[in-house]
Amino acid sequence: MPSSVLISGASRGLGLATARELAVRGYRVFAGVRASGALPADTGAGEVLLDVTSQSSVDEAVRRVGRKAGGIDVLINNAGLHAFGALEAADEARFRELLDVNLLGAWRLTRAVLPDMRTRGSGHILMVSSLSGLVGLPADGQYAASKFALEGMSESLALEVQRFGVRVTLLDAGPYDTDMLHRDVSALHHLSYSRHGAAYEPLHRALLTQKRSGEPPQSAAGIIASVVDDPPDRLRIPIGPVAEQVFASLEIDRGERARRVALEAASVGWWMRGEEPE
């Protein structure tokens, strides 16, 4: 069983629930937080200052965990932001921030842990994605853009690092009852008076005021912990009953079909086999 796990965005929500679940299962968990003291005392994990938008913070967090645990066996890229609203009404600064956290933050942290994983010939990188990385919903385009990009990046990464004994898993989560699910209705006022938001007010209002519900994050944490316990061969794992339904309805590729197509198109089967170029 892998002994050390680093989770980004672990001060609340799904990240916190996953840290608790893995700690109960006997893993040595390091919970990445942006502010000292943000981690509840009963989590069972060690707190690590980690801002995924800062390469220096990422590098220091990875070094610190490496010194304490002798290496990172499992990385869970969980840190994420959400932005609501029609794309025409999107604020560019917020959009850039979202991409910086959801996509580039995962890339920074992955890049930082890979050298040691490659040297040891083992490791598991989990990307917390979303059904929004498979289906673009109205008023969710900014978040969808970040998650669609994360899905594609992870597909490429999985083919690149398998040679070194490193696994990659995409966790496509359905709706869970975390703070990301509870949209702030005050956003409606801001969007209504933004440069282009008024045209979309009926859509925004309908989406923000409809009743929403989701599974408790502990349920998703249990599934994620099971993936850590027993890493699957499949790239893409649905998390929760809604995700299972979407996968079935859309016949979502778990990773096998895309892998075959990619290897044929790129003609790099030799790389996957650990051989020299043919």
Return the active site residues: 11, 129, 143, 147
Could you give the C-alpha distances from 217 to 25, 175, 238, 239, in angstroms and in order? 17, 9, 14, 11
**Phi and psi angles of residue 168, each rounded to the nearest 5 degrees, phi first:** -130, 135
The CA distance from 22 to 229, in Å, is: 9
Greatest distance between any 2 Cα atoms in the chain: 60
Give the long-range contacts of residues 92-95, CB within 8 A, separation 24 or more.
94/142, 95/142
User: How many residues are given for the chain?
Assistant: 278
Residue with tokens 């932005």: 83
Compute the 3-state secondary structure of the chain and give helix, strand, coil in percent, each to the nearest 5: 55, 15, 35
